[in-house]
Amino acid sequence: MPASNPDAAPDSSDPSGPCPRCGRVSNFGVLGSLPISFGDTYTLDGTPERDALDRVSALLCAGCGQASAVVEEKWIGDHPAREGIGGGGTITYRGVHWWPPPSSADLDESIPGGLREGYGEALRALSARAPRAAVVMLRRTVEGIVKDRGSEPAHEALKRSLASGLRVMADEHTLDANLADWAKEIRLTGNAAAHFDPMDDVDEAEATELLRLTRQLLHYVYELPEKLRRSRQS
């Protein structure tokens, strides 16, 4: 079975994660599945059966009570079934496409629209198992945060790396120092934007960590001050 990932959109093999509709992390029940593409025909108890390679499943969110459609690819052990039986293994169905597209519905309005959209696009890319595309959008989002809320020295530091820009913001108390430390530990914040090659190898776990960091940056820089302001007013 693939490892459970609470940051990835749900599928039948891992029916938990952010809901494509309400954006909250939730648990899901499978309402039903239908095959949509076929491989070889084989015979089962004398009856010809077509091998389903992809199927569509309806997953019901325990939070909002609405279902999402997930196109799922059949896997055997550690490889897609369309590559053959190979060494064998457990059959699982892994999501490759979601409807509605995974949303960033839980992002507060206090976050600038462009940054919300960039983060949302990264979320959809990661859910479609496109980690490099996700990383490109996440790096643009982090860059946008530093450009929007960072000082002139932070903008200068951004030319060295994203982590340097965030460090300057932490030194100037615009950012929590723990977030700047975390950014420094992540390889994907290391290279200067101009030197980052989107064709470099990026795995899903690395992209997911950058996603989590970006979510926390958005929370600390925009949502938290706005929530405090609203609390004081009420």
**Which chain residues interact with Zn ion by CB under 5 A?**
19, 21-22, 61, 63-64
Distance CA 86, CA 76 (A): 8
Smallest gap from residue 180 Cβ to Zn ion (A): 33
Instruction: Give every CB contact of residue 10 below 8 A, 6+ residues apart in sequence.
Output: 16, 17, 19, 26, 28, 59, 68, 70, 95
Residue 30 or residue 224: which is nearer to Zn ion going by CB?
A: 30
The amino acid that residue 234 corresponds to is: S
Residue 21 or residue 124: which is nearer to Zn ion going by CB?
A: 21
Instruction: Please list, residue by residue across 162-192, b when 16 or more beta carbons sit within 10 angstroms of its beta carbon and e when fewer do.
Output: bbbbbbbbbeeebbbeebbebbeeeebbbbe
Distance CA 163, CA 130 (A): 23
Residue 30 or residue 53: which is nearer to Zn ion going by CB?
A: 30
Look up tokens 């994907």; give the residue: 188
Smallest gap from residue 68 Cβ to Zn ion (A): 8
DSSP H/E element including 100: none
Residue 67 or residue 145: which is nearer to Zn ion going by CB?
A: 67
Distance CA 58, CA 35 (A): 12
Smallest gap from residue 72 Cβ to Zn ion (A): 19
The answer to whether 142 and 214 are in contact (CB under 8 A) is yes
Smallest gap from residue 140 Cβ to Zn ion (A): 27
The answer to whether 54 and 72 are in contact (CB under 8 A) is yes
Smallest gap from residue 16 Cβ to Zn ion (A): 12
Residue 66 or residue 90: which is nearer to Zn ion going by CB?
A: 66
Smallest gap from residue 63 Cβ to Zn ion (A): 4
Backbone φ, ψ for residue 142 (5° rounding)? -65, -40
Residue 52 or residue 64: which is nearer to Zn ion going by CB?
A: 64
Residue 63 or residue 144: which is nearer to Zn ion going by CB?
A: 63
Smallest gap from residue 67 Cβ to Zn ion (A): 9
